[in-house]
Structure 1
């Protein structure tokens, strides 16, 4: 039986006899730029699930979780949620007022309250954000070392253009040597870096500082996400990450008996990746026209043949939750493997680029020296 998401009545969580808290809640949750980051949500849902399963009331559980936080902003937000529960509101309505929780979380919590399985829903949400954070760490781990090498290479090249090349340029000017084309190009590039280097640095810093503003622009996000998807190696890696999140979300919602169309709508609002959001919009329209989920997925190139075939099997055997859970495990394994491979491939590739750039600069500088030595000889 599927639940109608538009007609779920507000229901306060059941009150149970309070019991003693657990010691593992005495840990600090580190926050970054948001009150409820993915890391905070992971800990919030996981701890709340453990407390509810242990028989602690929702009110007392929230009070324990709030006392474990040290950041004032988070404590204040959790206090607002706690006050809303005290005043008779449901947890789902209290979370919705915070505006940092997605509709996906809102309806999942509401279904948990309606069916009396709130501890299971919070556990599933905790697992979702745990895997999402793990995938983010895999991405950072795969790109950190290559980015460090690339940044060092850029600094080395800039140093050579800014300080080494001008020294050779003075020697060439004093001797009146006719310069090869490649040397003229390198000298022109050195003069450009010397004249506009600081402006370029300021522009890069400004772009990095204004990144949050750019991310709010729909066209910029569309261009950036589409470009990332087309990059060699990185594109397939990022695609696997978001397909893993998609399959896990569908598995969670299917377990909560959410209809397919509503699942697609909620996942589309939760996963912030334009190619996947655009694909899910298309899938949603095809389902509304009467097509099956497997047929709808098959009409978009973002979803591979493996997923389409297994979804078709799930529809025929009524094992949607199981199939999507298996798909999620496969994509999660693929993400881990590709993160290691990406780091292994990018490291020698960047070193090769650095060697070529430095070699070109050195050759450009030494060619006139060879010519000068032959003339003097």
Structure 2
């Protein structure tokens, strides 16, 4: 107990020479969110797996992790887990009593304790959350720069509508120039921003503040997820991210000898993506009705033909764990490729779209200038 946890664990880094931006993206930003999110779970399971494989017993390992925490809330959090073990509870019972852990984690740890493979299960859970966080960071990397460009461009357009267009409007009014329809439309938009822009900002700010409340509502999650799936390419990309998480979770559970039906039920509770959750509910009903897993999956659009075909092979050859591991690798590669392509395509696309808006504003302002020059002449 007299050494620091950092001295016992050698951290892996995919980009050891990365700059401050890379390090920032690897941190989990918690705003009105959980204090024990996926990023902390990755650290927790990875550290616990190393300590258990080093021969340290579970209680001592949790005590070491508790001592290493800087935040008082986390010290109390891990202290309660240690107290639970001291009170005679098993580790999976301790996890089951905390809302921060899912059924997926609870049953995985339970199987690990019952089969004597807890260190392996904990290590696999660490890898699961590591890959899940990596996929999340890939999504952020793909969208961050285009979003910054879009926000900057939108501010430029709003500035032109709020400051530049009214100056031209005053000139046109003073000289009594007959305005073309496109100029009238742009001036109407400018007047709307002048009169009601603050209401729009207030509405957006209110939505951001109430986002935590809305995120718990079923209709909100359904609407957001359905909207994302309908966006060209982005919908396919997000679907691949969650399918990668699904295949990795099933591979881990099947390697722990969890029945397939039970695995689907646990993964359904763990993955927070409405279209996939609905699909898994239908798959569960199909399996309970006596249908094969691949036939039940074939009825849902979110599962592509590749996955359905390989699941059929897995059922026929009894190689479920291997097939789902291969599927996970394929989807992980697909997510990386799509994230790179997404970031490459979105930047010029946004620039073109915003350029069109700026061009329309300029043309609408210069068209009446020709009439004005003839009047002055």
Please give the range of the TM-score, normalised by the shorter of the 2 chains.
over 0.9
Q: Which residue of 1 aligns with 2:170?
A: 170
Q: 1:268 aligned to 2:274? A: no
Q: 1:365 aligned to 2:365? A: yes
Q: Aligned-pair distance for 1:93?
A: 1.2
Q: Which residue of 2 aligns with 1:153?
A: 153
Q: 1:130 aligned to 2:160? A: no
Q: Aligned-pair distance for 1:376?
A: 2.2
- Distance change >3 Å, CA 196–CA 30, structure 1 → 2: closer
CA distance in 1, matches of 2:198, 2:295: 54
Q: Aligned-pair distance for 1:90?
A: 1.0
CA distance in 1, matches of 2:273, 2:290: 26
Q: Which residue of 1 aligns with 2:197?
A: 197
CA distance in 2, matches of 1:220, 1:260: 30
Q: What do residues 29-72 of structure 1 show as CA deviations (whole Å, max 9, x unaligned)?
A: 96723221100000100110111111001011001111111112
Q: Which residue of 2 aligns with 1:223?
A: 223
- Distance change >3 Å, CA 195–CA 309, structure 1 → 2: same
TM-score, normalised to structure 1's length? 0.92
- Given that residues 182 and 364 in structure 1 are in contact (C-alpha distance below 8 angstroms), is that contact kept between their aligned partners in structure 2? yes
- Distance change >3 Å, CA 280–CA 132, structure 1 → 2: same
Q: Which residue of 2 aligns with 1:14?
A: none
Q: Aligned-pair distance for 1:24?
A: 4.4
Aligned partner of residue 100 in structure 2, secondary structure: coil
Q: Which residue of 2 aligns with 1:106?
A: 106
CA distance in 2, matches of 1:195, 1:277: 44
- In structure 2, list runs of 5 or more residues that go unmatched: 12-26
Q: CA RMSD in A?
A: 1.6
Q: Which residue of 1 aligns with 2:14?
A: none
CA distance in 2, matches of 1:300, 1:174: 63
Q: What do residues 259-305 of structure 1 show as CA deviations (whole Å, max 9, x unaligned)?
A: 11100000000000000000000000000011111111111111011
CA distance in 1, matches of 2:248, 2:346: 29
- In structure 1, list runs of 5 or more residues that go unmatched: 1-17
How many residues in Structure 1 have an aligned counterpart in Structure 2? Answer: 359
CA distance in 2, matches of 1:350, 1:20: 52
TM-score, normalised to structure 2's length? 0.92
Aligned partner of residue 143 in structure 2, secondary structure: helix
Q: 1:284 aligned to 2:284? A: yes
Q: Aligned-pair distance for 1:78?
A: 0.9
Q: What do residues 192-216 of structure 1 show as CA deviations (whole Å, max 9, x unaligned)?
A: 1001111111111111111111111
Aligned partner of residue 301 in structure 2, secondary structure: coil
Alignment of 1:196-345 (within 5 A): 196-345=196-345
Aligned partner of residue 67 in structure 1, secondary structure: helix
- Given that residues 166 and 190 in structure 1 are in contact (C-alpha distance below 8 angstroms), is that contact kept between their aligned partners in structure 2? yes
Q: Which structure 1 residue ranges, 4+ long, deviate > 2 Å from structure 2?
A: 18-22, 24-27, 29-33
Aligned partner of residue 97 in structure 2, secondary structure: helix
